[in-house]
A and B are shown apart, each in its own frame.
Chain A
Amino acid sequence: MTLALFLQHLANALSLGSLYALIAIGYTMVYGILRLINFAHGDVFMLGAYLAFYAVATFLLPWWAAFLLAILVTALFGVVLERVAYRPLRDSPRISVMISAIGASFLIENVGIVVFGGRPKGVQVPDVMNVRLGLGGVSVMSVSVVIPVLTFAVLAILLWVVHRTKTGMAMRAVSTDLDAARLQAIDVNRIISFTFGAGSLLAAVGGIMWSYKYPQLNPLMGTMPGLKCFIAAVIGGIGSIWGAVLGGFLLGGIELLTLAFLPTLTGYRDAFAFVLLIVVLLVKPSGLLGGRHVEKV
Chain B
Amino acid sequence: MKPKRTHLYSLAAAVAFAVLLGVADATLDAFSLRVLDLCAIYIVLALSLNLVNGFTGLFSLGHAGFMAVGAYTCALLTMTPEQKEMNFFLEPIAPWLAHVTIPFIPALVVAGLVAAALGFVIAAPALRLRDDYLAIATLGFAEIIRVVLTNAQSITNGALGLKGLPKFAGTWEVWGCAALSVAFMVLLTRSAYGRALKAVRDDEIAAGAMGVNVFRTKVVSFTVSSFMAGVGGALLGHLLTTIDPKMFTFMLTFNILLVVVLGGMASITGSVIASIGVTILMEALRFLDGPLDLGVFQLEARPGLRMVVFSALLMAVVLFRQRGLMGSREFSWEMLSRARLPWRKGGPAGTDGGTHGVA
Contacts and interface: CB of A to CB of B under 8 A. Distances in A.
Interface in B280-315: 302-305, 307-308, 310-312, 314-315
Interface string B27-64: 00000000000000000000000000100010100000
B322 interface: yes
B147 A268 contact: yes
Nearest to B249: A223
A37 B59 CA distance: 13
Given A89-B318, A103-B315, A268-B151, A274 B143 contact: yes
Interface residues of A, number: 44
B132 interface: yes
Interface stretch (A93-101, A154-162, A253-261): A93-101
B315 A37 contact: no
A271 B315 CA distance: 29
A270 B143 contact: yes
Interface stretch (B113-121, B123-131, B219-227): B123-131
Q: Which residue among A88, A219, A281 has the maximum number of chain B CB atoms within 10 Å of its CB?
A: A281
B314 A267 contact: no
Given A100-B319, A278-B125, 5 more contacts: A37-B136, A88-B319, A104-B311, A110-B304, A231-B136
B249 to A, nearest CB: 9
Contacts of A285: 129, 133
B205 A37 contact: no
A98 B132 contact: yes
A231 to B, nearest CB: 8
A99 B151 contact: no
Interface residues of B, number: 43
A118 B265 CA distance: 33
**Chain A interface, >50% SS class:** helix
A58 interface: no
B228 interface: no
Contacts of A268: 147-148, 151
A238 to B, nearest CB: 9
Contact of B128 (A95, A113, A282): A282
Contacts of B268: none
A102 B144 contact: no
A85 interface: yes
B140 interface: yes
Contacts of A96: 318, 322
Q: Which residue among B254, B305, B308 has the maximum number of chain A CB atoms within 10 Å of its CB?
A: B308
A110 B254 contact: no
B141 interface: yes
A135 interface: no
A118 B304 CA distance: 8
B147 A267 contact: yes
B147 A270 contact: yes
A294 to B, nearest CB: 12
A81 B96 CA distance: 52
Contacts, number: 116
A214 B148 CA distance: 25
Contact of B132 (A37, A113, A271, A274): A37
A62 B141 CA distance: 43
B304 A114 contact: yes
B256 to A, nearest CB: 12
Given A37-B135, A98-B132, A278-B137, A85 B254 contact: no
Contact of B308 (A88, A100, A111, A270): A111
A85 B148 contact: no
A297 to B, nearest CB: 6
B355 interface: no
Given A99-B257, A106-B311, A281-B133, A267 B318 contact: no
A62 to B, nearest CB: 31
A267 B129 contact: no
Contacts of A44: none
A94 B132 contact: yes
B147 A95 contact: no
B59 A95 contact: yes
A262 interface: no
Contacts of A271: 143-144, 147-148
Interface string B57-81: 1010000000000000000000000
A204 B319 CA distance: 27
B302 A114 contact: yes
A167 B304 CA distance: 40
A234 B307 CA distance: 30
Interface string A1-43: 0000000000000000000000000000000000111000000
